[in-house]
Amino acid sequence: MTQWVDSRADGACSEAVCIVQARMGSSRLPGKMMEDLGGRPLMWHILQRAMQVGADVPVVLATTDHERDDPLVAVANAMKVAVVRGSEHDVLGRYLLALESHPARRVARVCGDSPLFDPVHLRQWLDLARREGADVVRFRDGVASLLQGGEVVSARALRWSRDVAGDDPLAFEHVTAWALRNAPLHPGVMVTAWAEPPAELVMDVKLSIDTREDLERMRRLYAALWDGAGPLDLRTAAAWLKAQAAAGDASK
């Protein structure tokens, strides 16, 4: 590829920001972000967890400019979380808008449909990226774990994706996927840090909510484990999931 040069200097900015992407217009489960989970809307759970990434890591909700997403903004306002609004389909554009109002060197990206994303691992990955000067943090291909719904990339990596990937859906819609795939192929442009999931979290189970079935499964998990207060610990959920799987195998 032609040598890419980032024309924008970081200037005065914070080390990290946590950007949460969410909208009400899901095609498979419309309005899912306001669905009840343990007596609170899904959006509330996502923002509550995002606020645990670090006291020094501001949280920004990046939603769309559609009126149907006003309820999400209302939840964020009640929790004193900043909001940016932009194109429904240009999700990367919303991230870049968030970085304009909250400049930062690195981004903890959170998907709004993953109510068990782990703020602990996001903080660890932010620290790893800072120590190694990394633009992306990722697992090796083929690693299956419960660490889902959260990633760490640099602001440079997002600008690189916008400048080089163009309208590739991996960047345009999925924000980080293009950079995560391509950064290791271009070490002269991007620095990749490699990570391994803790053994207790190595498990091939989907935790995102895309369908009514996914939502009902997550409701059962929260009903069994959540105390109604602080964020549900992912490791507690992992132990429960493994116990459920073992019980299912034993009944066969």
CA distance readout (Å), 170 to 27, 90, 92, 165 = 18, 11, 10, 8
CA distance 36 to 38: 6
pLDDT of residue 246: 85
CB atoms within 10 A of CB 223: 10
Q: Is the pLDDT of residue 248 over 90?
A: no
The tens digit of pLDDT for each residue in 155-176 reads 999 999 999 998 899 999 999 9
- Mean pLDDT for 195-207 is 94
pLDDT of residue 250: 56
Q: Domains, the chain, ranges and CATH?
A: 14-250 (3.90.550.10)
Of 121, 200, 189, the C-alpha closest to 159 is 189
pLDDT of residue 4: 81
| End-to-end C-alpha distance for the chain, whole angstroms | 53
CB atoms within 10 A of CB 185: 10
The tens digit of pLDDT for each residue in 33-67 reads 999 999 999 999 999 999 999 999 999 999 999 99
Angle formed at CA 25 by CA 203 and CA 40, multiple of 5 degrees: 65
Structure tokens belonging to residue 182: 């391509």
Q: Average the pLDDT over each of 10-19, 64-73, 149-158, 222-231 and give the range with the smallest value.
A: 10-19
pTM, rounded to two decimals: 0.94
Q: Is the pLDDT of residue 81 over 90?
A: yes
CA distance 157 to 105: 10
Structure tokens belonging to residue 85: 């609004």
- Confidence at 252, pLDDT banded by 50, 70, 90: very low
Structure tokens belonging to residue 16: 């990290």
CA distance 146 to 40: 23
Give the contacts of 80 (CB within 8 A, at least 6 positions apart): none
